[in-house]
A and B are shown apart, each in its own frame.
Chain A
Amino acid sequence: MEHEVKEIKKGIKFHTLNTDKFKTNLFAIFLSTKLDRENVTKNALISMLLRRGSRTMNSQEEISKKMEELYGASFDCGLDKTGDNQVLKFYIEAINDNYLPQHNENILKIVIESLLEIVFDPYIENDGFKKEYLEQEKNNVKQRIEGKIDNKARYSLERAIEEMYKNEPYGLYKFGYIEDLDKINEKDLYKYYIDLINNCKIDIFLSGNLSDDVEKLIEENENIKNLQEREPQFEVPKIPEKKDIKENIVTESMEVTQGKLVIGLNVNIDNDEEKYWTLMYNSILGGSANSKLFQNVREKAHLAYVASSTYYRFKSIIFINSGIEISNYDNALELIRKQIEEMKQGNFTEEEIDNSKKGIIAAINTIDDEQDTGITYYFGQELAESNVSEEEYIKKIENINKENIVDIANKVQINTIYFLKD
């Protein structure tokens, strides 16, 4: 897979991933903007409103019919929190022309034009979004916010993040806040949208079996021509400042049969290189079936079915997740603490290190074989303003030794212990 990137205008980049491995082409537009309390709900609303209609496709029904007509091109939107940024993501995945029953259609061209129109030329009435659409999407956003509680494991994780980042951008919920909704009207929101489009970082991705003229197709598109140059307003992930923290223990009650224990860890790294070490640390602690958490909490003590940890490299934090019998809280917590301690003492083997390396390298090797993963990888690089190829990434992992991992283990500090019980 060839990754090429071109700055079309200042602040707007076009990335191509040329590959013949897939039956589909994947076209994506990402808008990145700083997370802040004032605009978080507006951004969520915009990401939902843009799906409702564009200049020539005035309703969701028209958009859907057009996509269905294109052999079920799938149009999708996402809203992500990546470091201290809120990222609005728009995708269309469509069958490559080689796999159509008739060969005379140029689906990719229509796909590109449609998505650019949806994102940059929305349906407007009287200098504002359509009021009816806005009211419906407010209802939708409200439901998303209230829906936080439906998946108890995800809810517990969100709560732990909120506790760890009180009054900080990263503690914000990506769908925003219900109390904001009443204050937002269709005209002001449209003004805000113009502002967003003029200042956010824009990344356009196209992955698939591409012809040479795709670049022209993008650059000569009217919607692209209308975009201004900008100094993109987004947050490049920094090495977090070290803070001396006290463990914060939070317990909440809800109607659950299984308790959810989430532990948030700060990893006080000194430089970017240590992010790779932390990835290895996390893998040994709770990143796989061979990890300390899985082996000790699940396999030996039989306390849980889920016992794992996840590393969030943009914020240099790790979350430990487990679902346990509520009465086993003390046992489970003690056992988890013990695993963190074991890591500090360096009580893990060369074999565990090798195994973790193999697992991580295998994951890097699959990037080329998954269309969306390829895009996610290069977008992550883009946002971090780094340019590490897959080969270099693998080399960095191969070069990590035990001292590096113990070094990280001693930079790990428990920040928040969150427990959801009945």
Chain B
Amino acid sequence: MQIIENLKVKEKLYIEKLQNGLTVMIVPKPGMKKKYMIWGTNYGSNDNKFIVPGEQDVTEVPNGVAHFLEHKLFEQEDGTNSLDTLTALGVNANAYTTNDHTAYLFECTDNFYEAMDELMDYVQHPYFTDENVEKEKGIIGQEIRMYDDYPEWRVYLNTLEAMYHENPIKIDITGTIETISKIDKDILYKCYNTFYHPSNMAMVIVGDFVPEELLKEVKKRLVKKEAAGEIKRIYPEEKEEIVKPEIVQKLEVSNPIYTIGIKDVKKCDNKDKNELVKKHISMEILLNIIFGRSSKLYQDLYKEGTIYGEASLDYEFGKNYSHVLITGMSSDPRKVFKAFKERVEELKNNGVDKSDFERLKKMIYGNYVREYNDVQDIARMFLSDYFKGICSFDYLEEIEGINVEYLNQVLKDVFKEDKMVLSIVENG
């Protein structure tokens, strides 16, 4: 296995791409009792239109299939459910779906190899019937309804709705009650066979292990699969313009909840991984300079009672999208939006303050180091970064080289007023 060592956090990553195309990453954590295993496929709610390797025609599936598959994979042919089996082993098992990947995982202290048997068995052996697919629609239906009542989720989806015309990032990961009603076992099998090929998958294991021996255990449990060609994913063309500058939904909430979204249309060359990482780090520093706890904007709005606490500051990006999301609660979201835009203009004109920059760069460095405390955080981070083409250690390395000039450039490239939207959820 290839070993990548990071001296800053004093951790090692063991990585190998197996012959069948599966990438296995192991981060040893001597002395830790907790062990974490996660196996993911580079397939999420965005992947609804694609050409199956070896076929000519485009396949288009209803929204919510990736998430539906996540639920259904636990079902076994002998009538058992793998979630039950794993829970019975005393391990904490779960799965999740994002817009670009789906992952199956467990955390444990004992029974690691028994749990690994089960996890690798159920992910490699789908069993869908008309009956078990129908049954799941009731459960997922209640999951969808649960999210309908979450103001934070609504304000998020509406932000994407206001930013994107066609981009599948704006689709609700679960699909809707209407779209999932169209899902049947044939669709599930087709998507499974396309996207759950080892060459489209990656695995991360973190805990007190000898990596080479653990890799052997992984290999033993892999089912042989024929090599597969490349999956061609089809994403619609997306205009640079936003859809609309403001979107409002009425829900019963104590105070308005808002998200400021910025559609980032300055495309980073995805091949240049260092550039992706540098831009991400810069965005984190910038967002904190503009609206972090110590920022003037935050202090002013807090003192006058317009906001009550910190906003969450995020920069999200993937293969075909990138955007800023700033979410918080405010008595007057439009005032926050206006003050935010003014502050951004001011910064663009005057440039970023050097001492703010140095201080917040230190803070972001500390935040990265802290990610290495917990086996779960490490495993999830390495997996999701991997699907973006990034090695998580890069953040610790690239941050050193970022300077004020670079930051000012990113500020100008991304924070454009005509690319900003405001989403509000408020009492009706």
Residues of A within 8 A of B (CB): 20-24, 59-61, 64-65, 67-73, 93-95, 98-99, 101, 132, 136, 139-140, 143-144, 146-153, 254-258, 288-290, 295, 298-299, 302-306, 323-325, 351, 354-355, 357-359, 361-362, 365-366, 368-371
How far apart are B375's CB and chain A's nearest CB, in angstroms?
7
Q: B148 within 8 Å of A by Cβ?
A: yes
B369, A23: Cβ atoms closer than 8 Å: yes
Q: Which residues of B contact A147 (CB under 8 A)?
A: 254-255, 329
> B299–A21 contact, CB under 8 A?
no
Contact with A along B279-319 (1 / 0, CB 8 A): 00000000000001110000100110100110000000000
Q: Are A362 and B110 in contact, with the CB atoms below 8 A?
A: yes
Bound form: Cα–Cα A289–B90 in Å: 11
For chain B, the count of residues having a C-beta within 8 Å of the partner chain is 64
Report whether A72 and B142 are in contact in the complex, using a CB–CB cutoff of 8 Å: no
Q: Shortest beta-carbon distance, B292 to chain A, in Å?
A: 8
A101-B365, A289-B83, A362-B108 known; A368 vs B303 contact (CB < 8 Å): no
Set of chain B residues within 8 Å of A359, measured between Cβ atoms: 87, 90, 92
Cα A144 to Cα B308 in complex, Å, equals 9
CA distance A21 to B34 in the complex (A): 11
Find out whether the CB atom of A143 lies under 8 angstroms from the CB atom of B84: no
Judging by beta carbons under 8 Å apart, are A150 and B294 in contact?
Answer: no
Let me know if B56 is at the binding interface, CB within 8 A.
no
Measuring CB to CB, which residues of chain B are less than 8 angstroms from any residue of chain A?
Answer: 8-10, 31-34, 81, 83-84, 87-93, 107-111, 135, 138-140, 142-143, 145-146, 148-151, 251-255, 257, 292-294, 299, 302-303, 305, 308-309, 329, 359-360, 362-367, 369-370, 372-375
Q: Are B359 and A304 in contact (CB-based, < 8 A)? A: no
Across the two chains, which residue of chain B brings its CB closest to A98?
B10
Q: In the complex, which residues of chain A have a beta carbon less than 8 angstroms from the beta carbon of B254?
A: 143, 146-150
In the bound complex, do residue B88 and residue A355 qualify as a contact, i.e. CB atoms below 8 Å apart?
yes
Q: How far apart sit A71 and B111, CA to CA, in the bound complex (Å)?
A: 38
B33 A371 Cβ-Cβ under 8 A: no
Report Cα–Cα, A101/B369, bound state, in Å: 11
CB within 8 Å for A305 and B143 given contacts A69-B362, A150-B254: yes
User: A299-B81, A305-B143, A355-B87 known; A365 and B33 CB under 8 Å?
Assistant: yes
Question: Which residues of B have CB within 8 Å of A370?
Answer: 374
Residues in B whose Cβ lies below 8 Å from that of A303: 138, 142
Q: Which residues of A contact B149 (CB under 8 A)?
A: 152, 256-258
Between A and B, 18 residue pairs with Cβ closer than 8 Å are A23-B9, A24-B370, A61-B299, A71-B369, A143-B329, A146-B254, A151-B150, A257-B149, A258-B145, A258-B148, A258-B149, A289-B93, A299-B81, A305-B142, A365-B33, A366-B109, A370-B374, A371-B373
CA distance A304 to B139 in the complex (A): 6
Distance, CA A289 to CA B118, complexed state (A):
16
Q: Which residues of A contact B81 (CB under 8 A)?
A: 299
* Cα-based distance from A144 to B309 in the complex (angstroms): 10
Chain A residue at minimum C-beta to C-beta distance from B30: A21
CB distance from A421 to the nearest CB of B (A): 12
Of A143, A290, A324, which contacts B255 at CB under 8 A?
A: A143
Closest A residue to B364 by beta carbon equals A72
- A-B pairs with beta carbons under 8 A, tally: 173
Complex contact A95–B370 (CB within 8 A): yes
Interface pair A369/B369, CB less than 8 Å apart: no
Give chain B nearest CB distance to A258 CB in angstroms. 4
- CB neighbours (8 Å) of B138 from chain A are 302-303
Smallest Cβ-Cβ distance to B86: which chain A residue: A289
Q: Judging by beta carbons under 8 Å apart, are B370 and A93 in contact?
A: yes
C-alpha spacing A298/B140, complex, angstroms: 10
Docked CA distance A369–B363 (Å): 24
- Residue from A71, A258, A358 within 8 A of B363 (CB atoms): A71
Q: Which of A256, A258, A358 contacts B110 (CB 8 A)?
A: A358
B293 close to A95 (CB less than 8 A): no
A132 / chain B contacts, CB cutoff of 8 Å? 303
Q: Report chain A residues within 8 Å CB of B299.
A: 59-61
5 nearest A-B residue pairs (beta carbon): A358-B90, A71-B366, A302-B138, A72-B363, A72-B366
Cβ A140 vs Cβ B309 within 8 A? yes
Q: What CA separation (Å) do A365 and B262 show in the bound complex? A: 44
- Asked if A22 and B373 sit within 8 Å, CB to CB, the answer is yes
Considering the complex, give the chain A residue whose CB is closest to the CB of B111: A358
Q: Do residues A101 and B31 form an inter-chain contact, with CB atoms below 8 A?
A: no
Q: Chain B nearest CB: distance from A20 CB in Å?
A: 8
CA distance A154 to B83 in the complex (A): 26
Say how far A335's CB is from chain B's closest CB, in angstroms.
Answer: 14
Residues on B with C-beta less than 8 A from A298 are 139
Q: Which residue of B lies closest to A365 (CB)?
A: B109
Task: Kindly list chain A residues whose C-beta atoms are within 8 Å of the C-beta of B84.
Answer: 289-290, 295
Min CB distance A86 to B, Å, is 20
Let me know if B90 and A355 touch, CB within 8 A. Answer: yes
